[in-house]
Chain A
Amino acid sequence: APRAPGKKITARLKRTLPVRGPQAPTLSELMRWYCLNTNTHGCRRIVVSRGRLRRLLWILLTLSAVGLILWQCAELLMNYYSASVSVTVQFQKLPFPAVTICNINPYKYSAMKEYLSELDKETKKALETFYGFSEGKSKVRRSVDDWNSTGSNFFQHIPLLKVEDFSRTATDLHSGQKRKIEGSVFHKDSSIVNSGDSNDIIGFQLCDANNSSECALYTFSSGVNAIQEWYKLHYMNIMAQIPLETKEKLSYSADDLLLTCFFDGLSCDKRHFTRFHHPLHGNCYTFNSGDNGTILSTSTGGSEYGLQVVLYIDEADYNPFLVTSSGAKIIVHDQNEYPFIEDIGTEIETAAATSIGMHFTRSRKLSKPYSDCTETGADIPVENLYNKSYSLQICLHSCFQKAMVDSCGCAQYAQPLPAGAEYCNYKKNPNWMYCYYRLHEKFVKEQLGCQQICKDACSFKEWALTTSIAQWPSTVSEDWMLRVLSWDKGQKLNKKLNKTDLANLMVFYKDLNERFISENPANTLVILLSNFGGQLGLWMSCSVVCVIEIVEVFFIDSLSIVLRRQWQKAKKWWRDRQRGGSGKAPRAGDPERQGHDNPACIDEDLPTFTTALRLPLPQDSPLPRTPPPNYSTLRLETAFTEQLPDTVELGQ
């Protein structure tokens, strides 16, 4: 009893929704039916056309339309991930960027004396030996004596060499003896070896400490470069051993560097600046770094409303070998960006007013799959050593530092330390210089793979700078200006500042127009479908319904016809076998044969819609009893269901 309603419902369903087989008994009939009844244009023409040529023409046309649709749709799909660029300009209150200011000289030379005296002596000695330059004879002689007394110094290991190219022998700075050069020669300045005319090349040799036969000689076309590079190498070695706190003390304080400060028409002072220690530039000061949680903004453009500072550049306290230019370096950057001052800083001249007009542009690219950029850098397998937001520079530097730690065992001085590593110095890592130079060369030649791993950031801010210089202070205002600035600095009144120790800097927005360049997806799914629809409709007046029809007819129905035939064949074969080889059954008995009862009677000229409309049915005749033969070929479901109950499962 409980099952009765269920059964009833199924029975009812079966009765009201009877399952029928495919639209036609055979494949060709099915095709014909499809062509006549489909919604797409073209197919019908094939069937109803008279004459072979016309039919062929229509087949070709239909096929080419299908081909065109496929081609165009493929094109649409391939161009789906394209971006269009839009530029908007907005006039608004703009956040002022962070401005990082450094003295070009990193540390006060007077304070560094105790660390660098040995190195300076060595450098002076080299200058005298190779170029005959001396500041004062007595001084140098004393320094030579000093060196002789402390013979255990490491400068000895990497001395400057004078190379005679032809004989491939080098003169050592200390021993003065000539020795044969082995190993490869690297020319740092150019890859082309100087030909003949100057055979005195200065350089230095770096050897693998574990394997002394592996050496590389670095030569330079000019002694200026050679000595600076050599000095820098040793300098980094020394600095790596000094702790950060000491280094910060050795460098300039905010009071030392900044004489006056003026922002947005109001006075500012050192509290607006954040100290930032840069390994190569010492103490730098960042204005508006956003560390205290607020970012200053400007609501008026123009030089009066920007940042105006007067910097004190103590030129007398410069390191003569490390930096050869004087002035300051500044960089305009976003608060979240790390200032790569050594790479992209702008130099500021002394005794001049440098006016820097800014124009702000913000750009945004679309990330995957539109372009190969990264939003946050989280998907890059390189650890960000800097405590700032991702940029390509950060990635490259971090990548190099990682490679350095991996292969040399210590970290390079100019970049931050990875966890658990320490800076290279000669005492602990005697091999590091050779290793560093080798690695650096690989890096430059893109052999480390850093350039492949690192991607550019998707969004970035850019401040386009227009820099111009005026004389400052002017000749007539020089006198009072220097006096007042000396008073500001709190110096003794008799000692006036020199104007070559001062630099005036103005950083301001030229206008408050922010340009925002952004990429937008050129296509959305809606537009893609519209385009598909347009293509399908244009060539064949087709729609998704047609696609479903095609699936229905060409896949489900055809498959069921084929399967049914196979099934019947198998069944027949089985029956024949059961009968015990009583011979083949007459072919006329095939059920599908009966479907084609009157193949000859098919009317070639089918009634079209209009003719059918106009054709009046005979009024006197009752409901037609005998169906016209051609329709019977289309509708033979009843016969099929009776004869082939097995197709019920197959048809559905």
Chain B
Amino acid sequence: MNLKKYLVRALHRLQKGPGYTYKELLVWYCDNTNTHGPKRIIKEGPKKKLIWFFLTLLFASLVFWQWGILINTYLSYNVTSSLSIGFKTMKFPAVTICNANPFKYSEVKPLLKELDRLIEAALERILQPTPGNSSENLSPPLDLELWNQIPLVLIDEHDKDNPIILDIFETNQTAVGNETAVGNETAKKYKLAVKLCSHQGSDNCTYRNFSSAAQAVTEWYILQSTSILSKVPLHERIRMGYQAEDMILACLYGAEPCNYKNFTQIYHPDHGNCYIFNWGMDEEALNSSNPGAEFGLKLILDISQQDYIPYLSSAAGARLMLHQQKSFPFLKDQGIYAMAGTETSIGVLVDELERMGYPYSDCTMNGSDVPVKNLYSQYNTSYSIQACLRSCFQNHMVEICGCGHYMFPLPEGVTYCNNEDNPGWAYCYSSLRSSIKQRQICIDSCKETCNDTQYKMTISMADWPSEASEDWIFHILSYERDMSTNVTLDRNGIIKLNIYFQEYNYRTISESAATTIVWLLSSLGGQFGFWMGGSVLCLIEFGEIIIDSLWITVINVIGWCKGLKQRRARARYPDAPPTVSELVEAHTNLGFQPEAPGAVPRPEVLPPEPGTPPPNYDSLRVRPLDALGPDSD
């Protein structure tokens, strides 16, 4: 019933409305629309009419084309960057301090004793090929089983195509004989390599070549010591490392004194015990509101170089790194060295990049959408790309080799690799590490963080302590640490560090959307307005006209159906043939035929003469002369 009422009303409106035929409707629209072109079409003379028609078409297509471009631009989600530089009170970065050497040699010596004897003997063999070294006979026999797990071999490359592999201990006699025969000047032809086998005694072996023997020895030692140390429980490893009270001798933050208790201990596989200042895990992070060395962190460290493991790390110094609060320090990547016997000043500029996340760029806010299980979350640290890559590697390692690598945190229920339980781990690790495919998988699955903070450091160095002040400084520091009047420190172990904000301490690049919805609307409006002077209302007008024309179509269709029905009815009942006037009436009045007999509102609304325009349209066209003019022509 409602529908019928609505239809009746609609028809009513239409009959009062702009026109009954398409042409009238169009003319009415052109005359009354607010867009600029169409009015010209009907107002001008025939030639101009044509020109205006094409111009309007052209402008309309231009508008649509440019709208397409604008919408495309919007959907490409561009960003604009804004840069700000200056000084503001900022959180002082977390400072991680480690010794380049992971363990005290004096503590770890019992574990590594065999290994050291082996490498010493091997070096002896390599460097001094003259037989009959008497000292060798006196020492206890070497642990050849340990050696054979991952042996070092000499590769004789005199014959490039057919290198001879010499085991240092087993083929002792031949190797010596060879070397003495060829003499010293060709000693370079020998290369040291690490032999890695998938199982002990199996033939599936690779030789890792090194251009330098020094490199080979270091690499071999790292592999062996890793295997030994991985069996040591964590608390024992922490005990063997450097203790905070031994390492951090003095600390001053701004004007406030601080001591080793202000540092958070963390066990780092590369560097043993590391100490983090201002990590922000337990208490609020410290702020620094003044630039300059006076207001920064001042530290005096002792690295006790005498207690270094000789073969493990050849560089001596402190390793330090500045990083964000609650993030894990990846010292191998971002760390810097501080040399012993010097004062190192580090001016810091915080270089931040704040990016918009999806869909503007493919970055992650907190790493929750990365398909790699973050193993570093056990330290309660935030996501970083380094953590992701390492976790990815460790996961692969566990999957392929069946055990975890000592340098990375362990997933649940997995143990670290060692020579006894996993004899082929070094081979497996070595091939995995050099596998490009594995790296690419990790690179593809890890995403960078949206907020990228870097600490730009300006590093300068000076000798410290000066010769004049050396004596008393060493005396006091030794006394404070060891409560003895003997000097226990020397130039080779002591480091002074100053870390402070520079005069401009931040440079922030932040992104904002270049194209917002407001921008899009104003640009669309601008285009429409520029070419046609149109607005949203014009679009609504256009829509209205389309609805009207639909109605006209409906009416026409109904009228035509009715006509068809009538004709059929007439055909079925062939009475007297209809008169001409009847036919004419049927045709001319098609538009005014009601759809249903009940819907006819007022029969008198029907115009008395078909073809005469309804008077109300005349009132719109206030130009009777116009109508007259052509007539009079």
Q: Within 8 Å of chain B (Cβ to Cβ): is A613?
A: yes
A607 touches B622 (CB 8 A): yes
| A266 CA to B212 CA, complexed, in Å | 11
Q: Within 8 Å of chain B (Cβ to Cβ): is A129?
A: no
A16 touches B46 (CB 8 A): yes
Give the interface segment out of A97-105, A424-432, A468-476.
Answer: A468-476
Q: Within 8 Å of chain A (Cβ to Cβ): is B43?
A: yes
Q: Within 8 Å of chain B (Cβ to Cβ): is A7?
A: no
B215 touches A536 (CB 8 A): no
Q: Within 8 Å of chain B (Cβ to Cβ): is A288?
A: no
B386 touches A617 (CB 8 A): no
| A468 CA to B340 CA, complexed, in Å | 12
Q: Hey, what's the 0/1 contact readout for A366-393 against B, CB within 8 Å counting as 1?
A: 0000000000000000000000000000
A residues less than 8 Å from B436 (CB atoms): 299
A37 touches B43 (CB 8 A): yes
Q: Within 8 Å of chain A (Cβ to Cβ): is B385?
A: yes
| A284 CA to B45 CA, complexed, in Å | 83
B residues less than 8 Å from A266 (CB atoms): 434
Q: Within 8 Å of chain A (Cβ to Cβ): is B310?
A: yes
- With A529-B66, A537-B526: A545-B313 Cβ-Cβ less than 8 Å: no
B residues less than 8 Å from A70 (CB atoms): none
Give the interface segment out of B85-93, B143-151, B446-454.
Answer: B446-454
| A512 CA to B440 CA, complexed, in Å | 13
A476 touches B452 (CB 8 A): no
Q: Within 8 Å of chain A (Cβ to Cβ): is B478?
A: no
Q: Within 8 Å of chain A (Cβ to Cβ): is B97?
A: no
A530 touches B127 (CB 8 A): no
A453 to B: closest C-beta gap in Å = 31
A617 touches B459 (CB 8 A): no
B333 touches A302 (CB 8 A): yes
8 Å CB contact of A612 from B188, B341, B620: B620
A101 to B: closest C-beta gap in Å = 15
The residues in B between 603 and 626 inclusive whose CB is less than 8 angstroms from any CB of A are 615-616, 618-620, 622-626
Q: Within 8 Å of chain B (Cβ to Cβ): is A151?
A: no
The residues in A between 490 and 513 inclusive whose CB is less than 8 angstroms from any CB of B are 490, 492-493, 504, 510-513
| A612 CA to B624 CA, complexed, in Å | 13
A residues less than 8 Å from B214 (CB atoms): 260, 310, 481, 484-485, 488
A533 touches B127 (CB 8 A): no
Give the interface segment out of B32-40, B287-295, B498-506, B571-579.
Answer: B32-40
B45 to A: closest C-beta gap in Å = 5
8 Å CB contact of B533 from A477, A541, A623, A624: A541
Q: Within 8 Å of chain B (Cβ to Cβ): is A18?
A: yes
B residues less than 8 Å from A638 (CB atoms): 629, 632-633
A296 to B: closest C-beta gap in Å = 12
Q: Within 8 Å of chain B (Cβ to Cβ): is A26?
A: no
B211 touches A477 (CB 8 A): no
B residues less than 8 Å from A18 (CB atoms): 45-47
Q: B127's closest neighbor in chain A, by CB?
A: A487
A547 to B: closest C-beta gap in Å = 10
A residues less than 8 Å from B105 (CB atoms): 476
8 Å CB contact of A623 from B443, B456, B627: B627
Task: Count contacts on A: residues with CB < 8 A to the other chain.
Answer: 108
B127 touches A627 (CB 8 A): no
8 Å CB contact of A631 from B443, B452, B623: B623
| A473 CA to B37 CA, complexed, in Å | 85
B459 touches A466 (CB 8 A): yes
A474 touches B305 (CB 8 A): yes
| A536 CA to B79 CA, complexed, in Å | 28
B336 touches A471 (CB 8 A): no
8 Å CB contact of B308 from A476, A510, A631: A476
A86 touches B78 (CB 8 A): yes
Q: Hey, what's the 0/1 contact readout for B459-488 against A, CB within 8 Å counting as 1?
A: 101000000000000000000000000000
B624 to A: closest C-beta gap in Å = 5
Q: Within 8 Å of chain B (Cβ to Cβ): is A480?
A: yes
Q: Hey, what's the 0/1 contact readout for B582-593 against A, CB within 8 Å counting as 1?
A: 000000000000
A550 to B: closest C-beta gap in Å = 12
8 Å CB contact of A492 from B123, B184, B447: B184
Q: Hey, what's the 0/1 contact readout for B45-76 against A, CB within 8 Å counting as 1?
A: 11100100001000100000010011001000
A261 touches B340 (CB 8 A): no
Q: Within 8 Å of chain B (Cβ to Cβ): is A91?
A: yes
Q: Within 8 Å of chain A (Cβ to Cβ): is B326?
A: no
In the complex, which of the residues A466, A489, A637 has the most CB atoms of chain B within 10 Å of its own CB atom?
Answer: A466
Q: Hey, what's the 0/1 contact readout for A517-553 against B, CB within 8 Å counting as 1?
A: 0001000101101111110110001111110110000
B8 to A: closest C-beta gap in Å = 25
A residues less than 8 Å from B410 (CB atoms): none
A262 touches B313 (CB 8 A): no
8 Å CB contact of A468 from B50, B336, B363: B336
B332 touches A533 (CB 8 A): no
B533 touches A530 (CB 8 A): no
B321 to A: closest C-beta gap in Å = 10
A residues less than 8 Å from B456 (CB atoms): 464, 466
B337 touches A259 (CB 8 A): no
Q: Within 8 Å of chain B (Cβ to Cβ): is A169?
A: no
B66 touches A39 (CB 8 A): no
| A536 CA to B340 CA, complexed, in Å | 71
A79 to B: closest C-beta gap in Å = 15
B residues less than 8 Å from A616 (CB atoms): 615, 619
A531 touches B36 (CB 8 A): no
| A85 CA to B69 CA, complexed, in Å | 21
B43 touches A624 (CB 8 A): no
| A616 CA to B617 CA, complexed, in Å | 10
- With A530-B530, A545-B532, A546-B533: A469-B339 Cβ-Cβ less than 8 Å: yes
A545 touches B36 (CB 8 A): yes
| A626 CA to B544 CA, complexed, in Å | 36
A residues less than 8 Å from B332 (CB atoms): 302-304
A residues less than 8 Å from B212 (CB atoms): 259-262, 267, 310, 484-485, 488
The residues in B between 290 and 331 inclusive whose CB is less than 8 angstroms from any CB of A are 305-306, 308-311, 313-317, 330
Q: B47's closest neighbor in chain A, by CB?
A: A17
- With A310-B214, A542-B533: A87-B339 Cβ-Cβ less than 8 Å: no
B434 touches A510 (CB 8 A): no
8 Å CB contact of A526 from B70, B100, B185: B70
8 Å CB contact of A617 from B306, B433, B454, B619: B619
Q: Within 8 Å of chain B (Cβ to Cβ): is A632?
A: yes
| A614 CA to B66 CA, complexed, in Å | 40
- With A475-B306, A529-B530, A533-B525: A481-B314 Cβ-Cβ less than 8 Å: yes
B394 to A: closest C-beta gap in Å = 14
- With A474-B313, A530-B527: A612-B70 Cβ-Cβ less than 8 Å: no
A548 touches B55 (CB 8 A): yes
Q: Within 8 Å of chain A (Cβ to Cβ): is B210?
A: yes
Give the interface segment out of A176-184, A327-335, A338-346, A351-359.
Answer: A351-359
A residues less than 8 Å from B333 (CB atoms): 301-303, 357, 510-511
B308 touches A477 (CB 8 A): yes
- With A17-B46, A262-B215, A529-B530: A357-B336 Cβ-Cβ less than 8 Å: yes
Q: Within 8 Å of chain B (Cβ to Cβ): is A84?
A: yes
| A266 CA to B446 CA, complexed, in Å | 24
Q: Within 8 Å of chain A (Cβ to Cβ): is B80?
A: yes
B339 touches A352 (CB 8 A): yes
A residues less than 8 Å from B210 (CB atoms): 260, 262, 267
Chain A residues engaging chain B, CB cutoff 8 angstroms: 16-20, 37, 39, 84-93, 259-262, 265-269, 299-304, 308, 310, 352-353, 355, 357, 359, 464, 466-477, 479-481, 483-485, 487-490, 492-493, 504, 510-513, 515, 520, 524, 526-527, 529-534, 536-537, 541-546, 548-549, 607, 612-617, 619, 623-625, 627-628, 631-632, 635, 637-638
13 interchain pairs (CB within 8 A)? Answer: A468-B338, A469-B339, A476-B105, A477-B313, A490-B187, A515-B353, A530-B526, A533-B526, A534-B525, A544-B59, A607-B622, A614-B619, A623-B627
What 5 A-B pairs come out closest when comparing CB atoms?
A: A533-B530, A260-B212, A530-B526, A474-B316, A543-B533
